[in-house]
Amino acid sequence: MLPIRWMPPESIMYRKFTTESDVWSLGVVLWEIFTYGKQPWYQLSNNEVIECITQGRVLQRPRTCLKEVYDLMLGCWQREPHMRLNIKEIHCLLLNLAKASPVYLDILG
Residue 109 is predicted with a pLDDT of: 59
Topology of domain 4-99, per CATH? Answer: Transferase(Phosphotransferase); domain 1 (1.10.510)
DSSP state of 35: T
Is the separation of the CB atoms in 63 and 18 below 8 Å? Answer: no
Distances (CA, A) of 106 to 12, 27, 32, 64: 37, 23, 19, 8
Walk along the chain (109 residues) and give the pLDDT tens digit of each residue.
Answer: 899 999 999 999 999 999 999 999 999 999 999 999 999 999 999 999 999 999 999 999 999 899 999 999 999 999 999 999 999 999 999 999 999 887 776 667 5
Of the candidates 91, 69, 87, the one whose C-alpha atom is nearest the C-alpha of residue 21 is: 87
Residue ranges per domain, the chain? 4-99
Is the separation of the CB atoms in 15 and 4 below 8 Å? Answer: no
Query: What's the rounded Cα separation, in Å, for the pair 6 and 47?
Result: 14
